[in-house]
Structure 1
Amino acid sequence: MSKGIISVLRFTSLRLRLVVVFALVALTAAVSASGIAYWLNREAVLKRTQDSALNDFRQEMQNRAATLPLRPTEEELRRTAEQMAGGSAGYSVLLIGERDAGKPIVGASNPDVFTLADVPRSLRTAVGTKRPVTDTNDYPYHLFWQRTQRDGTPYLVGGTKVDGGGPTGYMFKSLAAEKADLNSLAWSLGIATGLAVIGSVLLAQVAATTVLRPVHRLGEAARQLGEGKLDTRLRVSGNDELADLSRTFNSAAESLQKKVADMSAREEASRRFVADMSHELRTPLTALTAVTEVLEDEQDALDPMIAPAVALVVSETRRLNDLVENLMEVTRFDAGTARLVLDDVDIADQITACIDARAWLDAVDLDAERGIVARLDPRRLDVILANLIGNALKHGGSPVRVSVRTEPSAGTAEDGEDGEAGEDGEAGEDLVIAVRDHGPGIPEEVLPHVFDRFYKASASRPRSDGSGLGLSIAMENALIHGGSIAAANSTDEDGRVDGAVFVLRLPRDGSGIARELRTRSSQGEVEES
């Protein structure tokens, strides 16, 4: 489904626009050319037909109608009209004469086809109007014509009057054949226009494929580069703009690969240095710890002037020992060698044991039902709880409230799937532990950085009792379980900050995460070998 949507989105972008533009250009050009061709051919066909008919009619009026007597009979008019219509021009003729003054008579070649009613009044007026003879006008009467329609059939109507008092004649020619020819031409031009549009669409597809294939390869290469495949390169062919773009991409990818390799080497060297330094410090620290333990046992018997110095040495040695242990833990996370040792843990008992071991029972309120069992690493959970509760006691003060609940996991809630149930039926559930204090809260500018390593909320107090790694180690332990920790401020009914709250969310069954870690570890060993 997602691939189909991606294909549709890809087609409806540049490809579709190219096809539409090509089709519109071809349609506009074809319609314009067809329209011009149709109009020119129409005018040529009609002009040729009407010129032939009108010239023939004028000649017949001069040769036949002009020979009629001044007062012709109706029979003479009819016979002459039939003779005039009998030619090859194929039109009907109507002749109008005068038997007496003011008494017109009509002779028609075919009264069933053409009568005086078929002659437009405007044409009759123009034909019957006598014009003065001048230097620019040699004749008092002229030949006029007009195109008209009857029952959907086009006709050409022309008329003139014989000079010197002869009859008035009208001709009536059907243009049905010309209309059929023009309709055939229109159909031909329409088909040609459609074929031109189809051809342009096919051509646009070919052009779009030619243009977009390198663009698609560039996009795929960029995606692979974003996924970390820094050795991705494009095959360069030609000397056009797309080839220049491919060369630029390859150059940028090569530069990025080199920089990432340099950074990785420096980071690896830095991690190795921290790990080696921490390891080397453990031996002298072990000796120092043994000495400080002896000094601490004999502290009451020491000189009062020396006792404070001994107490400072003892506390600083312990602090240094904690810092080295934390640094070694951080290097294990960075190196990807941290592992989960899972066990079924009663969460209420685990939290109670954590706060009891550190003598926090009187300062912590626990809201947890017994019987909530989760499969996780108890040592790492203890580290998380110790850091969160210790941080709350240090910066927020007692009482610190720790509450435990279970919730459906985010993936299960969204997908609506039941998942595979574990032995305790905890599959698809998250363990949520909230640690809340009642102190001044966390400043807004500090909230985004509370889990950063060695971050100090105040630059004026760069040294503190802790190592600055506690919360970051807690977050790393949560992440290795597939969980997370969120920090926020809680407010009272008036909207005032009345403490900070840290929410730990872990999968209730970490078996899947542990298997994934083992798989990654085995793959890494194979790659290294």
Structure 2
Amino acid sequence: MTDSPGGIRGWAAARRTVQSRLRFTSLRLRLVVVFGLVALTAAVSASGIAYWLNREAVLTRAQDAVLRDFQQEMQNHASSLPPHPTQDELQRTAGQMANSSQRFSVLLIARDERGKTVVGNSDLDSFTLEDVPPSLRKAVDKQQKVSSTNKYAHHLYWQRIVEGGKPYLVGGAKVIGGGTTGYMLKSLEPEAKDLDSLAWSLGIATGLALIGSALLAQAAATTVLKPVHRLGIAARRLGEGKLDTRLRVSGTDELAELSRTFNRAAESLEKTVADMSAREEASRRFVADMSHELRTPLTAITAVTEVLEEELDAETGSVDPMIEPAVRLVVSETRRLGDLVENLMEVTRFDAGTARLVLDDVDIADQITACIDARAWLDAVELDAERGNMARLDPRRLDVILANLIGNALKHGGSPVRVSVREEGEELVIRVRDHGPGIPEDVLPHVFDRFYKASASRPRSEGSGLGLSIAQENAHIHGGSISAANSPEGGAVFTLRLPRDASPLIEQETRNGNGTEENAR
């Protein structure tokens, strides 16, 4: 079971519509994605910069406050210690320093009178010398040269560290004039929590900005793509031949100007096509009228030439031998003119769309045999076809196709001409092969063109130049086709493909109002 042509066209139209919607959706998606990426990049960049600036500000503020307080405590308490304090003095002083407003841990280191290192710790085992980075200890112990720009040999140094996943600030300084060395340890976990909260807030803001940008992109895409979609629909309708298609134009932006340009182009195309159609119709009418007008005098001339031909063939020899060649030329050219007029009338019917099928059940082998016998080609044509191969076709048009293909093979090819018939599914394949030199490659694409001559130096030949074109049109009206090629064994091969039953075409043409006729059985 096969799909009807109408169903196929409907499916093709639906497929084009789906493809158009997919392209439209794809463009919308790309716009939304681009908008989203731009918004995401901007939001992430802004959030990153804001987080970095706030982080530095928070940490710097906390750090400066702690170091300033530690330095003040060192001056107030550690500097009052004797040059060689005892461990108890260091322990008591460390506890006093730790009670400052910043609440940091304190570690004091000095030497007693015997030169032994003594340590005072405000938090006992929670802050030891091992917690101080070696680089910081080295910097604190290093004695610098005193100069006009550097009044003290020792300075306050600090460093941020992370232990157990928690951030800390470590600072160290030596009492002016030498003696006790003090270190402090301050947890920055509250500041880290504040920064984490800030990061979450910025992340949420970034997500909201992304959602907002997607909504804005959707709205913008709809605004931009709706005119583009209408333009695509109008262009497709124009391509389908609906030349009166126009777009409604509003606004002064680029899309409005594009719509105006489309309307001007469609208007110009409609006018051009109308002019061409009018000229083509006038040309077709002229050819049809001329063909009809020529038939009347041609009929009279044909009758006279038939009488002259009978006189030439008569045994009495009533025709003067001097004018016999001229008479025979007139007879030949009259027949040629008659064939040309008939071919022109047939071409006119095809162009006007008035050519109709008259179907009948025919035996393909008998049809080919009758075509060959009627033209006295039996001795020059070999037939390879089984009898009983029936098809429902137009016998007259099939005879025209076969006569043109076989006659062309005999005229331009070489004998013998072989005609073979094969079945391929629901198709009949008829091949006509000659034994001539074949068709030049540059001629092959044009063998079915009207009035085409293979050699420009021989613009006039015995044929009208319409035979193969008419054969192809008759194949097309059956829903078939003809192709030309060169055989590898030599010679040209014309392949005719026809459906076994052309009735579906009649039903389709009847629905379209073409009024195709069929023989009554």
What's the TM-score, normalizing by structure 1?
0.90
Q: Match of 1:305?
A: 322
Query: C-alpha deviations, 1:466-504, integer Å up to 9, x for none?
Result: 221111110100010111110111122xxxxx2111000
What is the aligned partner in structure 2 of residue 325 from structure 1?
342
SS at match of 1:105: strand
3-state secondary structure, aligned to 1:100: coil
Given residue 443 of structure 1, which amino acid in structure 2 is its aligned partner?
A: P
Instruction: Give the Cα–Cα distance (whole angstroms) in 2 for the partners of residues 522 and 356 of structure 1.
Output: 34
| CA drift at 1:381 | 0.3
How far off is 1:52 after superposition?
0.9
Counterpart amino acid of 2:171?
Answer: G
2:213 maps to 1:200: yes
Q: Does 1:508 align with 2:500?
A: yes
Check the 8 A contact 2:509/2:515 in 1, yes or no: no
Q: Is the 8 A contact 1:65 1:166 kept in 2?
A: no
Please state if 1:378 is matched with 2:384.
Answer: no
Please state if 1:258 is matched with 2:255: no
Specify the alignment match of 1:189 in structure 2: 202
Candidates 220, 243, 248, aligned match of 1:230: 243
Contact conserved, 2:450 with 2:466, CA < 8 A, in 1? yes
Per the TM alignment, residue 17 of structure 1 is displaced from its structure 2 partner at its CA by: 4.1
Distance in 1, matches of 2:117 and 2:83, equals: 12
Deviates more, 1:451-460 or 1:250-259: 451-460
The reply to whether residue 85 of structure 1 matches residue 102 of structure 2 is: no
Q: In structure 2, what residue type is equivalent to 1:447?
A: L
Give a deviation string over 1:132-159, Cα, whole Å, max 9, x none: 3322122222211111111111110111
Q: How many residues align?
A: 498
**Which of residues 494, 516, 520 in structure 1 aligns to 2:512?**
520
Correspondence for 1:394: 411
Amino acid at match of 1:41: N
Residue identity matched to 2:458: R
Moved more, 193-202 or 475-484: 193-202
User: Which amino acid letter does the alignment assign opposite residue 79 of structure 1?
Assistant: R
Q: 2:469 aligns with which of 472, 485, 489?
A: 472
Matched, 1:144 2:136: no
Partner Cα separation in structure 2 for residue 117 and residue 186 of structure 1:
33
State the distance in 2 between where 1:523 and 1:123 align: 105
After superposition, where does 1:280-319 map in structure 2 within 5 Å? 280-299=293-312, 300=314, 301-319=318-336
Give the secondary structure class of the aligned counterpart of 1:171: strand
Sequence identity percentage: 76
Q: CA offset at residue 328 of structure 1?
A: 1.0
Equivalent position to 2:67, from 54, 75, 97: 54
Q: Which deviations, in whole Å up to 9, do the C-alpha atoms of 1:138-191 show, x marking residues without a partner?
A: 222221111111111111011112223442211110011111111121222222
**Pairing 1:258-277 to 2, within 5 Å after superposition:** 258-277=271-290
Q: TM-score under structure 2 normalisation?
A: 0.91
- Gaps spanning 5+ residues in structure 2: where? 1-13, 517-521
Deviations 1:63-116 (A, max 9, x none): 222222333222222122112112321211111222224311111111232111
User: C-alpha offsets along residues 268-296 of structure 1, whole Å, 9 cap, x if unaligned?
Assistant: 01111111111122222222222222222
Asked if 2 retains the 8 angstrom alpha-carbon contact of 1:339 and 1:517, the reply is: no
The yes-or-no answer on 1:43 pairing with 2:23 is no
- The one-letter amino acid paired with 1:296 is E
| Alignment correspondent of 1:176 | 189
**Residue correspondence of structure 1 range 126-137 to structure 2 within 5 A:** 126-137=139-150
**1:338/1:434 Cα in 2 relative to 1: closer, same or farther (>3 Å)?**
same
Q: CA–CA distance in 1 between the matches of 2:509 and 2:328?
A: 43
Q: Secondary structure at the match of 2:493?
A: strand
Instruction: Name the CA distance, whole Å, in 1 between partners of 2:497 and 2:400.
Output: 15
Identify unmatched segments of 5+ residues in structure 1.
409-428, 493-497, 525-529
1:362 aligns with 2:362: no
Q: Which moved more, 1:330-339 or 1:221-230?
A: 221-230
Counterparts of 1:402-481 in structure 2, within 5 Å, are 402-408=419-425, 429-481=426-478
**Separation in 1, partners of 2:514, 2:484:** 35
- Contact 1:489 1:500 (C-alpha < 8 Å) held by counterparts: yes
How far does residue 19 in structure 1 lie from its aligned partner after superposition?
3.3
Deviates more, 1:458-467 or 1:266-275: 458-467
- Output the amino acid matched with 1:269: A
| Partner amino acid, structure 1, of 2:453 | K
Contact 1:339 1:514 in 2 (8 A): no
C-alpha contact 2:24 2:229 (8 A) present in aligned 1 = no
Asked whether 1:153 is paired with 2:166, we answer: yes
Q: 1:527: which partner in 2?
A: none
Moved more, 190-199 or 143-152: 190-199
Cα deviation for residue 47 of structure 1 reads 0.8
The residue identity in structure 2 corresponding to 1:142 is: H
Contact 1:74 1:105 (C-alpha < 8 Å) held by counterparts: yes
